[in-house]
Structure formats: C-alpha cells, structure tokens
Amino acid sequence: MPTAVRAHAKINLGLYIGAPRPDGFHGLATIYQTLELHDVVTVTARRAAANTLKLTSNDLRVPTDDRNTAWKVVERALEAMGLTAEVEIQIEKRLPVQGGLGAGSANAVAALVGLETELGIPTKPGAPSISRTVRNGWESTNPSGMSPDPTDQWESKRLEIAAQVGSDVPLFLIGGTILGTDRGQKVQPLPDIEPTWCVVATPEIAVSTPQAFADWDALCAAGGLTQEASTDKLNELSCAYASAFAGGFGQGAGSSGVLPFRENLAGPTESALVRTGISSWIQNDFERVVFPQHPSLAEIKCILALADPAPGTPEAARDSSALVASLSGSGSALFGLYQTRGDAEAAQARLKNQMAEVRSTLTRTLPRAAYWREMLLKEED
C-alpha cells in the first residue's frame, strides 16, 4: 500500500552569510523553523532484482529525473543500504517551486521516510535528541565507544546522505527549531519555540539563488569583507543564537522541549521570540541584494510587518504587528510571525488589499514532536 508523507516547509529566522570561500560555498548562520504548510509525497516501493525509479508530479516545473533531490536521496539510500527496489514517487506540489521554503529538500526527506516505511527499514521514532551533538552535517551517536546500534548507524548515514544532496536537506531530518551552520548542512536541534501564527506570501517572482550569491559576492568585495572576518562574525552569531535558545529559551521549557508562552495578565500571552529579544535582531542578508533587484518584495515585507498607521504617523512611530517579518532563504517567499491569529489574519487582509495579485497562506510554526507525529498521513487525513 502506498505511503503518503507530508513534506513540511521551512523558513529562516535570520540568515547571515559570509564572504565566498575557496571551495565555492559560503559560510552561513541561520535558524531553520519548520511550518505546518506542506507538500504531499507518496511513495510505493517493493524489493526487486534491480533498481527502477519513477517520479511524477502535478507541477510541470518539478524535475522528474535524477535532477530531483527526492530521486537523488532515494537512489543513494538504496545504495547505502545495499538494497534494490522498484520505487515510484509522486509529488503533489502545494508549496512554490524555488521559493525559499525548502520545498525540494523537504520532498527529498519525505521520499526517504516513505521508502523506509515501504521497505520496513527500522529507524528511531521521532527526531534526534536535542542533547546530541551534530557534527559535519550528521550526528555523533556513539560517544561511549560501545558497539553501535544498527538503527543509530543508519540515522547517521541518512544525515550524511542528506548533507551530500543539498545544504538544507538535513534540517528536515530533525524538524522544529534548528541551528544551521557551515553552508547550512551542519544542523543542531534547538529548544522549540511555541506554535506561532505565520503568514507566508508567495509572489510570482523568480529569484535566482546563484545570482543572489553573485550579487552578495560583489557586495562583499566592495565592502572589503574577507573570508576570515566573516568566519569570525558567523561564529559569534552562531554562539549567540545557541546561547539565546539554550539559555534564555531553555528556561521554563517543558519535558517536550517546546517553549511555552508566558502568561501576561494585562493582555495576550507573550512570545518567547519577544521575551528573549531574538526578534529584534533577526535579519536576512539576502534582502540586501534581492530587494534592490525586486523592490516589490520589500513592499510585501513592509505590509507583513507594519500595522496600518494613522495618516501622518512618522515612520519611526509606526507599530509593527509582526514579531518577525523577513524574506525566507533567497526568496521569493516572505513571511511574518504574529502573536495572535487575529494579527496574522489582519496582515493577510492588508496584503490582499494592497497587492491583490500576491498569494498568501495562513499557517503556524511546527515544533519537532508534532513534525514527526504528523509526517505520515493516515487514511482519515
């Protein structure tokens, strides 16, 4: 029986980029956050004498051959497990293609989970423990030196495969709130923020990630930012992120690892993003090169971020209705996080009134436990 898997989107709660490295990549520091918003990937697989892969999609823009990340992960996983199988993958697109939401990478992990389920491959339930250290893009799961559990070996191998296929593929093997460093493939689970209302805007604009990086390189050269200086900056930012989440965020986190709201008797509950001050310094470096090329994206961010000001209100005095508003990845998707559903719906209404052609979706952030609990679709879903 086919296995249907939700492939959840991600956003970047801040994205800091370094100068180009000799290996052609860029160092970065970011917080990934998974969302309830998702594609659906359906996998049918059975063991066979030789490997055959077939991939289809309801979106003609999705590659249906070995260029597809889902194809690549399944192919490498079968090779790593020493198995041969007939595999069919069907991708039902609900997320934008190349929109900065990690859709292709999420599809890849969903296909892997579907393959494991179809072939009966044992894996650890849920996601990696927050207490484990993630190195080189995958986990170090055998600190005692004892003979490793076979499922631990496969957990490590699947993260290694994910890192080889794409920089933001490994995050989807963890879910929730995640620190990403190096080129993004080194991932470390963090205490989750509480489920937070989110509006995702997906304009029909194609942002070229290679071009965005090229423009960033030119900006670094003009500003004299060296690789050494940016590496120091990224290390400092990574430490600051980890400290904020593990320290200020971790206080009061329940056994589930999800950070609760703090009750405010004078009004609505307070978000951990505000309580720790993280929301005040989250930024995405790509905005510095993408917004000049696509000014309408900057307009969308302002609409998501700002409440309707009274006529004549000075710019500095305008209240922000969003906890955070930002470009996700290199775009073109943007998002806003909001204290209440009412705030989020008001932002959607503003966007519809001012830029009716821009599609938006109301969703919420998805903590780690819920990410894994909701990944496999049941018949009643």
Burial of 210 (0-12, 13-18, 19+ CB in 10 A): exposed
Annotated catalytic residue, options 39, 168, 192, 285 = 168
Q: What is the DSSP letter of 323?
A: S
What is the Cα–Cα distance from 28 to 212, expressed in whole angstroms? 14
What is the Cα–Cα distance from 147 to 372, expressed in whole angstroms? 27
3-state secondary structure of 135: strand
3-state secondary structure of 22: coil
What is the Cα–Cα distance from 63 to 191, expressed in whole angstroms? 35
CB of 173 within 8 A of CB of 159? Answer: yes
What is the Cα–Cα distance from 37 to 43, expressed in whole angstroms? 20
What is the Cα–Cα distance from 296 to 101, expressed in whole angstroms? 19
Host H or E run for residue 372:
helix 368-373
Exposure letters 246-275 (e unless 16+ CB within 10 A, then b): bebbeeebeeebbbebeeeeeeeeebbbeb
168 part of the active site: yes
Which residue is associated with the tokens 């990944």?
375
Instruction: Characterize the bridge pairing of strands 52-57 and 85-92.
Output: parallel
Residues marked active site are found at: 10, 168
